[in-house]
Structure 1
Amino acid sequence: MDIRTYNREAWDRAVAEGDRWTIPVSREAIARAREGDWHIILTPRKPVPRSWFPVELEGLDVLCLASGGGQQAPILAAAGATVTVFDNSPAQLGQDRLVAEREGLSIRTVEGDMRDLSALADASFDLIFHPVSNCFVENVRPVWRECARVLRAGGTMLAGLANPVGFCFDVDQEKKGELVIRYGIPYSDKTSLTDQERRRYTDKGEALQFGHTLEDQIGGQIDAGFSLIGYYDDLASEGELVAKYMPTFFATRARKNA
């Protein structure tokens, strides 16, 4: 299975079905952002602290990586940043263009694989905004290396990440209200499941996911040339049993070393 192609089609389908992560931001939110009143998320619930962003966004070159959907990029553009959105899904990028046209914003959109940013020049961004999305690729370390390449020295990368523990539990048992450890980490919808188990996602055309180790998610950033300067935990959406016991997402703020 070609995961990139499969997940691209899955996210295009999610746009058509109105998934929550594909619904464009409102006119009211854009108007507030133009006045300096805005917030965006890297993880399902908790807004990113404003202290993680430069005080002034005007003229800042921002890459919204695997961040299509017409949500974060338009807010940052309305707040003054020069924004490029890079995403695997043409339909998700279409949501950003929709908001840009509706609101008179300038947003560049680029389709591609987050592990290969060759369409983008070296040292061309001041800030990378990367919400929870690298759980949709099999290997996350190339993502960090490419981020380091396109980010200017001293630039910042903000990343939302899935806690790999959330991938360990038996889905069928969780639906019955029990948490039963079944899968190891790293986890893969492609190889950790039987063909029959995988059909719970593929029959509905849902994207396939991967639970990366903390060594790859955090250590991978450090190995790529970043220093971690911020961190917070977050919970999954309501209704997920494991979220009653532990944070299921986290966010990191990292600075590219000179």
Structure 2
Amino acid sequence: MDPLKQNSDAWDKKVEDGAVYTKPINEEIIKKSKDGYWGIRTTPTKYVPREWLPKSLEGQKILCLASGGGQQGPVLAAAGADVTVVDLSAKQLDQDKFVSERDGLKITTIQGSMTDLHFFDDQQFDIIVHPVSNLFVENLSPVWKEASRVLKDNGVLIAGFTNPLLFIFDDKEDMKGNLVVKNSIPSTSLDNLTERESEEYLKAKNPIEFGHTLEDQIQGQINAGFVITGLYEDDFGGSRPLDKYIKCFISTKARKVDIVEQ
């Protein structure tokens, strides 16, 4: 079983099913973005602080990493940036193409994994926007290293990710409103399933999720040559039981520096 192939197919299916993170933004948002009133999210509900990005995006080369779905990329393109969107799912990229054609935007789309950006030169981008998505890869180190490689010196990485606390609970019970501790961290969505349950899970084109440690998320960025300069937390907007107790998403702003700790 290839996790990348499984997750590519799973997100294609999510587009077909109309899942929330696959719905492209509307024309009104694009119009406002062209007029200078824009904002993006890398976590479910909070907008990235405007001071984390340049006042003007004109001429800024931005990589939207694992960011298909017709959301962040089109907004940034409408605001004047030179945008490239990379995603594992062809149908997620189709959403960006749809908005681009509908609203007259220029967006480059590339199907590929966030762990291998071989199709880019070193120091190609000014900014990387990486919304919550690295839970779909097993090893985070290549993600941060590749982001560092393709960013220019002093370039900015804005990354959203999941607090591992979310993954320790039984997902089915969580949906019922019950917080039942079941999993350890790191973990995958296939842990604690029987062989038959795993086969059924994969056959239904469900994504494989990986619960990463905060050390892998934050120290991983630092080890790849980044300095964390900003952080905020977010939640599901009140739709999950844990929202009452803790925010389960984090977004960081990091700047690429010259010295890489080995």
Deviations 1:113-134 (A, max 9, x none): 1100001111000000000000
With over 3 angstroms needed to count, the CA separation of the structure-2 counterparts of 1:177 and 1:34, relative to structure 1, is closer
Give the 3-state SS of the residue equivalent to 1:47 in structure 2: coil
Residue range with higher mean Cα deviation, 4-13 or 240-249? 240-249
Query: Which deviates more, 7-16 or 200-209?
Result: 200-209
2:178 alignment partner in structure 1: 178
**Deviations 1:90-120 (CA, angstroms, capped at 9, x unpaired):** 0111111111111111100011111000011
> Aligned residues, how many?
258
Q: Secondary structure at the match of 1:232?
A: strand
CA contact (8 A) 1:123 1:153 kept: yes
**Which amino acid counterpart does residue 36 of structure 2 have in structure 1?**
G
Give the RMSD, CA atoms, in angstroms.
1.5
Structure 1 counterpart of 2:238, one-letter code: E
What are the superposed Cα offsets for residues 180-216 of structure 1, whole Å, 9 maximum, x if unpaired?
A: 2121101112345433554674354221201100110
**Corresponding residue of 2:231:** 231
**Cα contact 1:153–1:256 (8 A) shared by 2:** yes
Residue identity opposite 2:234 in structure 1: D
Q: How does 1:1-258 map to 2 (within 5 A)?
A: 1-198=1-198, 201-202=201-202, 204-258=204-258
Q: Which has the higher mean CA deviation after the structures are superposed, 180-189 or 227-236?
A: 180-189
Inter-partner Cα distance in structure 1 for 2:211 and 2:133 = 11
Alignment partners' CA distance in 1, 2:106 and 2:18: 24
For residues 134 and 70 of structure 2, the distance between their equivalents in structure 1, rounded to whole angstroms, comes to 18
Report the residue type matching 2:247 in the other structure.
P
- AA of the residue aligned to 1:252: T
Most deviating of 180-189 and 225-234: 180-189
Deviations 1:66-90 (A, max 9, x none): 0001111000000000000000000
8 Å CA contact retained: 1:190, 1:198: yes
Could you list the runs of 5+ residues in structure 1 that have no partner in the other structure? none
The unaligned stretches of length 5 or more in structure 2 are none
Identical positions, percent: 49
CA-to-aligned-CA distance 1:220-252 (integer Å, 9 cap, x gap): 000000000000000124331122111110100
Q: TM-score, normalised by structure 1?
A: 0.96
Are the aligned partners of 2:122 and 2:151 in contact in 1 as well (CA < 8 Å)? yes
8 A contact 2:6–2:202 mirrored in 1: no
- Which whole-Å CA distance do the structure 1 matches of 2:167 and 2:214 have between them? 13
Task: Name the SS for the 2:158 alignment partner.
Answer: strand
Deviation at 1:160, TM superposition (A): 0.4
Normalization by structure 2: what TM-score? 0.94
Residue identity in the other structure for 2:91: A
Distance 1:238 1:199 in 2: 32
Query: Secondary structure at 2:110's aligned position in 1?
Result: strand
Name the SS for the 1:51 alignment partner: helix
